[in-house]
Amino acid sequence: MRLKIITPLVGMLLLVQGRQPVVGQTVSDGLLNEVVTVGQRLDPQLRASTPTFRLDSLALRRSGATDMTTALRHIAGIHLRDYGGAGGMKTVSVRGIGATHTAVTYDGMPMADTQGGTIDVSRFAFDLVQSIRLDIADAAPLLVPVRSLAAATLDIGSAVAGEQENQTTFQLCTGAWELLNPSLTLRRKVGRHHTLGGAASYAYSNNNYAFRLRNGITSTTERRHNSRHQSGVGEVNWQYLPDSLRQVRTKVYYSDTKSRLPGPVVLYNNANAERLGEQLLFAQSRFDYAAHGVEVFAALKGQRQVHRYTNPDPQYPEGALQRTYRQTEAYATGGVGWEFLPKWSAGYAVDYFYNHLSTNLSAADGAARHTLLQALSLRYTHPRLTLTARLTAHHAWNKAPRHAETPKDLSELSPSVSLSARPFSRHFTLRAFYKDHYRQPTFSETYFYHLGTPMLKPERTRQLGAGATWQGNFGKGGPQVRLTLDGYYNDLTDKISSVPYNLFVWRTENRGKVIVRGADATLYIRQAVAPKHHLMLTANYSYQEATDRTDPKDNAYGKQSAYLPRHSGAANLVWENPAVNVGLTFSGTSSRWATNNHAPGTRLPGYGEVGATCYRNFHLPAGVLKASLSLHNILNKNYEIVRRYPMPTRSFVVTLAYQLAK
């Protein structure tokens, strides 16, 4: 109890203390100079021919984000399926297509989950995240690993990779529900050409937040039980930079997560004892070379992931249900790009990866797949026009478990084309794109007991979009403004859906078709209101109409897809000044349905969540202390993103980060 009272008081005292100058410190916040410099340059995203959104460390701090959920709400087009709390699974779908079509990369290298097909973004330690970037439909660089050319790609940049300067940072986050999250980041130059870096993070939370449970006209206050979550993450990075033309980057990453699963909320039954443990280990190394109009890259990665699920219950023969899944992947990628004529460049990239699943379920044990991806790209670049065309080839060879039928091998071609033009001025950009993409069935969809179907075809998405960006100033001394507006049309065919075979057995089939129509808009305004005082507003809004078009006789035909809101958005207003920087945030969605056929009782009402943050830098003789206090769900709104999984109510997080002088 003392910790709960003292922690926010300490955070507030540190922030208020910032009103008094410290020895060796100027009154101005070092962040302001950085903001002014960035604001005077044109955003590199202005030239992008497909929608691209990026949140750097400063933008994350301004938004008061303390986890992936609160951060991703500030990116237009994203729908986050969140099962609530620190240990709840969080997956990302973009523009109504589905989470299995979103590739997740960490420091530019793709992550893998062939068993379920989706990446749980909560597995990444948020205190070690430096940036988040979303590319829709295609990647901005010409030469990238082919696997990252998905319907959408979410890249997470770590705080320890990529820079050459020395750095030592200690960070501590604490807050509601016994949150304890210390971390350490180190980076050192070794000689002239080598940089070594390392990071470690530990997180603990009992996660027993309160929520309102309604049953007809009655309402009671309950708490999430069996919700404790703890995780440890460590990574080591080595960068070799012999000259400005070549570099080698190597990373070894390990995480160990143990979560108690509270399960769905059931009336008058809070008993639950499920456990989930996950270990993830991967090592990756990448070589890059660029000189005289030629680019070359090559990379290797090995990954092993273990899931252990336990459900103690006397109904099971051995007193508990235990499931173990071990995924192994070997991955290689490389490519070459060449500027063969002025304004013309071409690139070829190839990926190969081998996936294997071992489990104590005989129906899926031993499943394996070889996959070969190739991409041929061509780009024309002019000061006022950029045109990119790609052709991607997908090939896959499957090996079924011992007693299962072997699926058909896959061989498909996927074209894409995108362009950006600046017909009037360098401040205004028009863009348009078309992309074809295939998604292979996962091992669970193919082999899972009484559910999988080996003869599944891949899901196919066709994406069509157009948009515009304007960035500039309104008059001398006026606000800096960036405005984007995009419309899109997505056609998802051969959608993989589970349908009842009889009263007890469901089967997975290619029977779905979904049409998505939507629009995304973003706004950024920055205005100097006085010397060293700035107001900044960032906002995004998304409209999505995702309707089932499978069978006119089906009850779900023409209805909005499950869990997708028609309207969603977020806003962040920040006042930065020499004393204490203050921000207010808002995020919300319209109502949704938990089922595709909109069954009675499955409607989820819309919600709006309000938060606040204040932060300050203290320049000390030995380094910089960064302090922040974030308040989430100030109005204590009770809501659900996934039915029967209540989201956290009012909470706070205090963050203290001390960066030693170089």
Distances (CA, A) of 226 to 85, 515, 620: 12, 39, 43
- DSSP per-residue string spanning 448-477: STTT--TTPPPEEEEEEEEEEEEEEESSTT
With b for 16 or more beta-carbon neighbours within 10 A and e for fewer, the 45-78 pattern comes to bbbbbbbbbbbeeebbbbbbbbbbbbbbbbbbbb
- The CATH number fitting domain 2-35+48-157+174-599+615-660, selected from 3.90.950.10, 3.40.50.720, 2.40.170.20, 1.10.1660.10: 2.40.170.20
| pLDDT mean over 438-466 | 90
Say yes or no to pLDDT of 352 above 80: yes
* Confidence class for position 85, pLDDT limits 50, 70, 90: confident
Predicted pLDDT of residue 549: 92
CA–CA dist 53, 69 (Å, integer): 16
Residues 6+ away with beta carbon under 8 Å from 36: none
| Predicted local confidence at residue 475, as pLDDT | 80
Q: What are phi and psi of 35, to 5 degrees?
A: -65, -45
What percentage of the chain carries pLDDT values higher than 90?
A: 65
Check pLDDT > 80 for residue 17.
no
* pLDDT band at residue 84 under the 50/70/90 scheme: confident
Least confident of 65-74, 450-459, 492-501: 492-501
Band (pLDDT 50/70/90 cuts) for residue 501 is low
Please give the residue that has the higher pLDDT: either 524 or 212: 524
Q: Mark residue 497 as left, alpha or beta (left: phi above 0; alpha: psi -120 to 50; beta: remaining).
A: beta
Report the first-to-last Cα separation within the chain, whole angstroms.
Answer: 38
Beta strands in 141-178, from DSSP E residues, in sequence order: 152-158, 167-175
Mean pLDDT, the chain, whole residue set: 87
Q: What is the pLDDT of residue 339?
A: 95
Q: State yes or no: pLDDT of 653 exceeds 50.
A: yes
Instruction: Identify the helix (H) or strand (E) that includes residue 71.
Output: helix 68-72
Rounded to two decimals, the pTM is 0.90
Tokens at residue 429, please?
């950009």
Each domain of the chain, given as residue ranges in start order, spans 2-35+48-157+174-599+615-660
> Of 323-332, 460-469, 474-483, which range is least confident?
474-483
pLDDT (mean) for 164-173: 89
Q: What tens digit of pLDDT does each residue of 38-49 get?
A: 233 445 566 678
CA 255 to chain centre: 17
Cα 220 to the center of its chain, rounded Å: 34
Q: How many Å apart are CA 9 and CA 612, to the nearest integer? A: 16
Determine the Cα–Cα distance for residues 657 and 655; give it in Å rounded to an integer.
6
Q: What is the mean pLDDT of residues 412-428?
A: 92
The whole-number pLDDT of residue 187 equals 92
Whole-number Å distance between alpha carbons of 366 and 402: 7
Report residue 11 as tokens: 């955070």
Predicted pLDDT of residue 163: 65
> 552-579: per-residue pLDDT in tens?
988 889 999 999 999 999 999 999 999 9
Residue 405 in this model has a pLDDT that exceeds 50? yes
pLDDT, tens only, 527-541: 999 999 999 999 999
